[in-house]
Chain A
Amino acid sequence: MVSALDPEIAGQLAEDLPPAVFRRIIATFETDLGRLTAELQACAVTANADGYQRAAHSLAGAAAAVGAIRLASEARLAMDPLQPEAPATLLPRLSAESRLAIAELHSLAQA
């Protein structure tokens, strides 16, 4: 199975930063994910396209920053106003990618 993380980015971060700092970043990322996923869902329900795209943009940025490349790609799809996929299709996939990325980051932190 292809990793949820880009090993160069996530691995470099783990290498550049003290373990405690790296763990703190994962915690911040988790909080970000929770907040932004909730925002995406709320915007999808209320058909707030602008808010949906803003939340997706932030999620893409956060994911890319820790090397969660597959999650970042899904978020970029949500950012794209021309993308044909409905939130109902995309959001579950995005949540699944989030869980995978978090799990792999925790593994990396323990390595």
Chain B
Amino acid sequence: MTLSNAIDSGPLFSRDRDWHPAAYTPGYKTSMTRAPFRPLVALGSTLSEETGPAFGQSMIGRLDNNLILNFTGQPAVGERIIMHGRVLDEQGRGVPNVLVEIWQANAGGRYRHKKDGYLAPLDPNFGGCGRALSGPDGSYEFLTVRPGAYPWPNHVNNWRPMHIHISVFGSGFGQRLITQMYFEGDPLIARCPIVNTIGQQKAIEALVAPLDMNRAIPMDCLAYKFDIVLRGRRQSVFENRKEGM
């Protein structure tokens, strides 16, 4: 076994449940009937969480990370942006071959979904999803349009800040994570009940992407940087495992 394999297959760092949102968050009404009331049964990770599905570059299509063109081949309407960053673990190491999937509303704040009845129109050239595999240093990149803010039924006048949904896999199933990226300077972030399911301000800030003028392309598009951090893994070489495991 090589050292890098040993690192990648070690037990997972335990999740900091005070950093993540709680399950039961009355400001976000739907959570009130979908949150478990009994305590989670907590124990260290096992092989079932330390292993996970592997994805390869062969399954990624040429336009999969280009949401401006990947629906019809004709460009979607909206503010053109690059969304880029690295997938890291809690030790700060880039994690390669991570499947990053994103989905979002169009520039007017409307989703291509039968349950979304918002009055902003669909863009015939915007599907709203994309995917990419992180590179050797954990880096990933999408080209898309900045999604619009939109109202949602919770309290009477709640609006979601502009956001992109993000789903990531690590090397272990226990690292599976879904989160959302927000945009620097959006005044709706502080007013959003879903954002505010997160208790700590520093944790909220970890989901706000700064404008990155160095990655913007003059006369073409702006850029936002968003690093994604997965649960860390201990080095398995010193773990007390029985022979043959």
A and B pair up? no
